[in-house]
A and B are shown apart, each in its own frame.
Chain A
C-alpha cells in the first residue's frame, strides 16, 4: 500500500480501485481521479491522512452526493432534469412557505423553530439513521446512534438542551424462516439489541425516549433501519455561532481510540461478508452527560464562539466544518487517547464517541477549564483556527494533512444519476369478501405492524425530566397506543407558569412506497400531521423532518422512487403549510443473503413532525372516556387496499393506493382543531395501519368501554366495499369521541365537512359495527385486546 500511496498520482484505474477497497474509502473512480488530478496540480503525492480526509469529506454521509446531486428522471417518454434534487424539492418547499417561526433551517446540525409564548426559546429537532452500524453490531450501533443525534442537538447553534428522544425501527419479520448469510444476525436478535442500545443510552443520559414506531417487512431482513431523533430547547440568542480567527480548537468529552474508523465512508458501501467491526463505535452515555452539563454551563456564560459534534469522520469532519472559512491548524499529539497504538491519521478520522469541538477565545479558556474540571469532563486543546483558510494537521514534526479548505469542501465531483419510474401493475378490482370480519380484525390486531409495542416502550424511561404530558402509552390502563407525544419542557425553560409544550409524531408507510412513492410521501406527511392533531397540537405551525432510506442509488428504479417521494414531500409540505426544517438520507441499504439473493430495502421515508401545544393541560388522548358520548368519523373513506396491512395478511387482489386530497384534509383538520380547542372532543385517534376497525378497537379497549357503531351514513367513496371501509387505509380519516353536552357546538364547527356521527360509547365491553343494516362484527373488547397485546420481545 505504501508503494501505491507514494505513486498515487500515476496509478492506473485498476490499482486506484484496489487501493480504495484496501483502505475502505468507498470513493468512486471519478472521485479518485479528481484527487489524483488535484495532487498532480500540487506537484506532490498525498499522505494517507489527506486521502482519508478526502474520503470522509466526500463521503455520502457527509456530502449527501446522491440527494444533492444532479438527476435525470425518465417517466415514459419524458425526462425531467434536476441539478440538485434536494434543493429543488425539500428545500424549495421550505423556501416557498418562508415561515417566520422557522429560526434556522438546513444550515446547522438541526432545524430550529420558535417555541413558547415568551419569544426567548427555540425548539431544535433532528432525526438521524444508524442503519449500517446496527446491521453489524446492533447494540453498539443503536447506542451510538442515540448518542450521535443527541450531540447534533448539543451542537446546534451554541447548544440546545435535549428534552426528548425518538426512535423508529424497521426489521425483518421476527418469525421468518429465511436462511441468513453467515455474517448476519436474526431480526429478533437485531431488534432486541437495538432496543437495549436505545434504552441504555437514553435512560443513562437522562433524556426521555417517548415517541417512535416499529415496522416489519422482510425487505429489512439484512438491513435494519434505525431512526433516532432528538429535540431540545435553545435560547434564541444562542442560535448564531461563528468561529473567530485566533480561537482555540478545544475537544471535550470522550477520548480518541481506534473504534469507529471509517464510519462515514461505511455509509457509502453495501454491507457484505467482509464488513468488520472497525466501523462500529461504542457509546458511553455518562461521558456524554458530562459533556452536556459542561456545554450548558459554558454556553450561558458565553465561553465559546462555536461548537459542533464529532460525528462521522471524527476530528476531520468537525474541525474541518468549523474551520471551513478560517482554516485550522491541528496538533494531533495533543489529543487524549484511549490507546497509544494508534496512527496519526487514525486519530484524525477516528469516530470515537462523546466528543464535541469548541472554538474558544484564548481569554476565556481558564473559565472553561474550571467548569470542565468541576464536571470531571476531559478535554484537550488541539490547536487554533488561524484565519488563513488552510487545513494543516500535524503530529509532532510529521505533516498529516496540508490542504486548502476550498478543495476539500468544493472539489467533490458529482455525476448525473439516472432515475426511472418503477413499473408496478395496479389493480383496483373489488377485494374479495372474507368469511368473517371479526376474525380478520383479531388477526389484524395481532399483526406485527399493528400489535402493542409495550414490550419495547416500557423499557424506555419516558418520564425522566418530568415533562412527558401525553405519553406513548395511554388510556385507562396506561397501555393504549398514543398518536403523538406531548412534552412540557419545563426542565429546560425552568418556567413552571408557562404551559407551552410541543407535540411530536411520525408518519411512515413503505408498503405504499412499493406501489406509489409519490402517494407514500403524501400519506406519510398526512399521517404525521393527523397524529399531531389527535393530541390537539397547533397543526398550522407544523414543522417536519425528512429521513429517506433507500437501496443502492446505482439502480435507476431506486432513484426513480426517490425522485417521486421527494416530489411528494414538496407537494405535501406546501399543501399542509408544514416546512421541512432538517433531514437526512441513507443509501446503499441492501445486502445479499447466503444464496446470493439481493435484499434491497423498500423506499423508506420517515416523516417526523412537531407542532406547538399552546396549553399542555388541554392536550387530549386516544381512548374512549365516557359511556353515552357520541362517536364521529371524520374524513371520507376511499377505495383501495394498496399498502394496507390487510394485503400483507391476505392478498385482496386490489393494490390501488387511495390518493390524498390535501386541500380537503387541511380544511377538515382546521375545523377539528377548533373543536378540540373548544373542549368538544374527548378523544381522537387516527385511522391508519389496520384501518378504521383497528382504530375503533384501540379506542375501545384502551378506555375500557365498548361502542355501538353504525357506519351506514359515514362519508365514503361510491362503490366502497365493507372490507375497504373496515380495513382499507385511505388517508385523512380520524375517529372522534365528542362530549355529549358539547355536541351542538361541535356540529356548528364541523358544518359542511365530511364528519358523520357513527355511534356512541357504551359501558358494555363489546364493539359492534354495522353497515347498511348488516352487522359486520360484534366482538368482546377484552378478546380484541388479548389479540393485540403481544409480546414482541
Chain B
C-alpha cells in the first residue's frame, strides 16, 4: 500500500516555488508543479488500519491531505515522477515510521519505504528526465519512474 501525503494548496506555495526554481536551474521552465511524500507500507493491514495510519500518524490534518490511492494530488496533463531509495539503501525515515506504526497499531509492518512524488506539467518527457537526473535523484542511491498522469 502506498500512502500519499501532500500540503494543502493554500500552504504549498513556498515548497512549489522552490521546486519550480530548481527545475528552472536544471533547464526546465514550468509554471506549476506539485509535490507529495510517499510511504510504501508492506503489511497485511486492513484498509481501515492503513487509513488510521495515514490520518493519525503520518498526516498533519491542518496543513496536509492524504490519499491511499496514488496520484490524487495530480495536476492535469502532468507527468508524475516517483523517487525512491533503492531497496538496498538504508531508509532512515522508513525505519522510523516502521517503529511508529508498531506503536500505533500494535503490530509491525514487514517494511516501510519513504519516497517522493512530483507532478510536473511539461511538454517533453526527455527534458523532464534530464532535470530529474540533475536535481531530484542520485542514481547511485535512488530509483525513479516517470509516467504521464
A and B interact:
yes
A238 to B2, CA, bound (A): 49
Nearest CB of chain A from residue B4's CB, rounded to whole Å:
22
Q: Which residues of B have CB within 8 Å of A188?
A: 25
B140 engages A276 (CB within 8 Å) = yes
Which A residues between 744 and 763 are near B, CB-CB below 8 angstroms?
none
Does A137 sit within 8 A of B, measured CB to CB?
A: yes
Q: Which residues of A have CB within 8 Å of B134?
A: 186, 189
Q: Mark each residue of chain B from 129 to 141: 1 if its CB lies under 8 Å from any CB of chain A, else 0.
A: 0000011001011
**With A186-B134, A189-B135 as given contacts, are A280 and B141 in contact (CB-CB < 8 Å)?**
yes
Q: Which residues of B have CB within 8 Å of A138?
A: 138
A258 to B87, CA, bound (A): 12
A185 to B95, CA, bound (A): 28
Q: Which residues of A have CB within 8 Å of B138?
A: 137-139, 185, 193
Q: Which residues of A have CB within 8 Å of B141?
A: 137, 140, 277, 280, 282
Q: Mark each residue of chain B from 109 to 149: 1 if its CB lies under 8 Å from any CB of chain A, else 0.
A: 00000000000000000000000001100101100000000
A186 to B25, CA, bound (A): 10
Interface size class of B (residues with CB under 8 A): 10 to 19
A282 engages B92 (CB within 8 Å) = yes
A286 engages B96 (CB within 8 Å) = yes
Q: Which residues of A have CB within 8 Å of B92?
A: 282-286
Does A49 sit within 8 A of B, measured CB to CB?
A: no
Nearest CB of chain B from residue A441's CB, rounded to whole Å:
28
Does B89 sit within 8 A of A, measured CB to CB?
A: yes
Does B46 sit within 8 A of A, measured CB to CB?
A: no
Does A510 sit within 8 A of B, measured CB to CB?
A: no
Does B61 sit within 8 A of A, measured CB to CB?
A: no
A136 engages B96 (CB within 8 Å) = no
Does B14 sit within 8 A of A, measured CB to CB?
A: no
Does B88 sit within 8 A of A, measured CB to CB?
A: yes
A338 to B140, CA, bound (A): 19
Which B residues between 93 and 115 are near A, CB-CB below 8 angstroms?
95-96
A259 engages B89 (CB within 8 Å) = yes
**With A189-B134, A189-B135 as given contacts, are A282 and B90 in contact (CB-CB < 8 Å)?**
yes
Most chain B CB within 10 A, of A185, A258, A338, is at: A185
Does A635 sit within 8 A of B, measured CB to CB?
A: no
A189 to B25, CA, bound (A): 10
A277 to B141, CA, bound (A): 7
Q: Which residues of B have CB within 8 Å of A186?
A: 134
Nearest B residue (CB) for A259: B90
Does A431 sit within 8 A of B, measured CB to CB?
A: no
Interface size class of A (residues with CB under 8 A): 20 to 34
B140 engages A136 (CB within 8 Å) = yes
Does A257 sit within 8 A of B, measured CB to CB?
A: yes
Contact of B90 among A139, A189, A276, A338 (CB under 8 A): A338
B88 engages A137 (CB within 8 Å) = no
Nearest A residue (CB) for B91: A282
Nearest CB of chain A from residue B104's CB, rounded to whole Å:
17
Q: Mark each residue of chain B from 51 to 67: 1 if its CB lies under 8 Å from any CB of chain A, else 0.
A: 00000000000000000
Q: Which residues of A have CB within 8 Å of B140?
A: 136-137, 276-277, 280
A284 engages B88 (CB within 8 Å) = no
A257 to B95, CA, bound (A): 15
A138 to B140, CA, bound (A): 11
Contact of B95 among A139, A276, A284, A339 (CB under 8 A): A284
A193 to B137, CA, bound (A): 11
Q: Mark each residue of chain A from 270 to 283: 1 if its CB lies under 8 Å from any CB of chain B, else 0.
A: 00000011001011
**With A189-B135, A276-B140, A280-B141 as given contacts, are A257 and B90 in contact (CB-CB < 8 Å)?**
yes
Nearest CB of chain A from residue B134's CB, rounded to whole Å:
7
Q: Mark each residue of chain A from 139 to 163: 1 if its CB lies under 8 Å from any CB of chain B, else 0.
A: 1100000000000000000000000
Nearest B residue (CB) for A276: B140
Q: Mark each residue of chain A from 178 to 217: 1 if its CB lies under 8 Å from any CB of chain B, else 0.
A: 0000000110110001000000000000000000000000
A286 to B98, CA, bound (A): 13
A186 to B134, CA, bound (A): 8
A138 to B95, CA, bound (A): 21
A193 to B25, CA, bound (A): 15
Nearest CB of chain B from residue A272's CB, rounded to whole Å:
14
Most chain B CB within 10 A, of A282, A285, A338, is at: A282
Q: Which residues of A have CB within 8 Å of B95?
A: 284
A140 to B91, CA, bound (A): 11
A185 to B25, CA, bound (A): 13
Q: Which residues of B have CB within 8 Å of A257?
A: 90
Q: Which residues of A have CB within 8 Å of B25?
A: 188
Nearest B residue (CB) for A185: B138
B135 engages A282 (CB within 8 Å) = no
Nearest CB of chain A from residue B108's CB, rounded to whole Å:
14
Q: Which residues of B have CB within 8 Å of A193?
A: 138
Nearest B residue (CB) for A255: B90
Most chain A CB within 10 A, of B25, B89, B135, B138, is at: B138
Q: Can you list 30 contacts pairing A with B, beta carbon distance less than 8 Å?
A: A136-B140, A137-B138, A137-B140, A137-B141, A138-B138, A139-B138, A140-B141, A185-B138, A186-B134, A188-B25, A189-B134, A257-B90, A258-B88, A259-B89, A259-B90, A276-B140, A277-B89, A277-B141, A280-B140, A282-B89, A282-B90, A282-B92, A282-B141, A283-B92, A284-B90, A284-B92, A284-B95, A285-B92, A286-B92, A338-B90
- Using a CB–CB cutoff of 8 Å, the interface residues on chain A facing chain B are 136-140, 185-186, 188-189, 193, 257-259, 276-277, 280, 282-286, 338-339
- Using a CB–CB cutoff of 8 Å, the interface residues on chain B facing chain A are 25, 88-90, 92, 95-96, 134-135, 138, 140-141
Rank and list the top 3 A-B pairs by shortest CB-CB distance, nearest first: A282-B90, A277-B140, A284-B92
Known: A138-B138, A286-B96, A338-B90. 14 other contacts (CB 8 A): A137-B138, A137-B140, A140-B141, A186-B134, A188-B25, A257-B90, A258-B88, A259-B89, A276-B140, A280-B141, A282-B90, A284-B90, A285-B92, A286-B92
